[in-house]
Chain A
Amino acid sequence: MEAQATSAFPTRRTTIPFGPQHPVLPEPLQLRLVLEDERVVEALPAIGYCHRGLEKIAEKKDFLQDVYLVERICGICSFMHSLNYCLGIEELMKIEVPTRASYLRVIWAELHRMHSHLLFLGLIADAFGFENLFMQFWRVRERILEVMEKTAGARIMLSVCSVGGVRRDIDDGQKAEILRVVDQVERDLESLLPTMFDDYTVGQRLRGVGVLPADKAHELGAVGPTARGSGIAMDHRLSIGYAAYGELGGVTPVTEATGDCYGRIIVRARELHQSADLIRKAVQRLPGGVVSVPVKGNPDGEVIARMEQPRGELIFYIKGNGTRNLERFRVRTPTFANIAPLLHMLPGCQLADVPVIILSIDPCISCTER
């Protein structure tokens, strides 16, 4: 009644639950949205729908078994998790990995980045209602999954990374197949990406939506394409140079200054070409030699391992106590870091834009809740 006295059209606040089950969300996440008419004024996250306590389980397993457990933190960037874990344990145990294994790790890691980004581009196209684009990106993604199966024996859960190197090698025929597929994928992208970059309706759904300025992105701890889409040049492949990235060089962070959904998507699309270049370089320069070294002893001490996963900075804290079991294993995934920036993107947007904004950070709830 009081509101009616001050305005002919009073604005009422409504709180609606967005998720945990929603057509655009592949995984359960809830945002409690406070709305004024159709405009979002506040968003509160609610997670915990698929918390697995994986950090605790890791303490109960042998540290070598944990490679396969850690790989299951995420069903998309699984190889990245096993790689980061192995890098951490190897640093802790002072294991020198053969150069050939480091190059093979880069090849599989970048193939994983490509399939993850293609999956994302399809999902975001589906979120803004362009189903044909969704199908085309996923069709291209199949090529990457097939070449991973041909080289590692599995499409997603490769299980090729191990402490001390990798469990499989590739021959000349497989090298040629990787190069052929990467070339084919880039040719496919030539016909697809202009639609994503230049189409009027795509631009209308993405440009100026969910803006995250660079200073806010830094203050709120944004990582990966979410940070790079706001103009922050941060990419640990360049800054740390783990595995063979330091030797391969040429990793210049892909950035966009707009800070909106469009910028975050364009960063990922351009990173596909960067990954293709890295794979070509790694295949062409792949040195000879063994692909793993034996592991002796148990990890003792503590270490931080971090790397650039498709969604951003991945951090593991690993503490060993000289036994086969780890004292503590802690995971900070990129989606976890991007929740606070997401809460800044949503206020002020229209309810219809919420799905696109959420998907623009490429959320992985499985990673987040681990």
Chain B
Amino acid sequence: MSRKGFIPLGNRMGEGRPPGFDIGGTAVVQWAVARLRRIGLWGRGLVLAVPYVWLLLFFLIPFLIVFKISFSEAVLAQPPFTGLFEWLTDDSGEGGKLQIILNLGNYIRLWSDDLYVLAYLSSLKMAAISTLLCLLVGYPMAYAIALAPPARRGPLMMLVILPFWTSFLIRVYAWIGILKANGILTGILSSLGLVDEHFEILYSDTAVYIGITYTYLPFMILPLYATLEKLDRTLLEAAADLGCRPWEAFLKITLPLSMPGIIAGSLLVFIPAVGEFVIPELLGGPDTLMIGKVLWNEFFSNRDWPVASAVAIALLAFLVVPIMIFQYVQGKGHDGEVR
């Protein structure tokens, strides 16, 4: 889509009003408006500033604070951690100097205690396996919907998204009744004579895989469907005319062309799944190690805010690369459509 004719808005930031427009009021107001215009905080800039400042205050700055507190020590106080900066003065109250205490103990503990290292590794593994399961279930579904007649695609996608609108917690809860000993699944399997009636999937890693795949499936299908729907069907016809077998055409044409959807969907599942807390807590067993659970326990059970912060920062360090890839894919998708 061409943007020509549409006045480039970036250049208009400072001049939201036509010349000669009387702002009214005193000279002070006019001076203030002129100043705001010069720094781009008038018109569009002023409107944009509201969400911008909100996000800076409640999204970016919080991470800096987490980073800061990860270097402090836990104390029994309110708030329960030590300060990093202290202003030292001599007895006469003069000649102040700033003292900064960086306590690396929290990070050393993360590295030397097996619990944390294993929890990180096991979270990455469990998130990766769940992502793969989502892809295996979601790809054929997205493809089937994309191949359906156009009038039916909307309702079929609606059916995929609908469960996402119902409570996440309740969808996880639904699986407890199914997977527990004497539960619905065990009842079916034992009546078929496959297992005895004390067989239980609940409270195991398998239950966590099922839970993550179940709750994150829509996030996988949405981007997959978006790319598969746009796929040029004539390519497949041409391949068939040239004697290409269907599965060969799928591997050589459909799969590579749907790669952006696969990447976006996988990241939408993988990144939040690494830090998942509710699913391992409700469906996982005592051996299920996931870092989200560790962070939660450090914070709520041990009341150790600095260690919880260090756990969060280390988790973020693991996720920075996937998040940046996700942002790149997101940005490219939109720019590609705009320009």
Chain A complexes with chain B: no
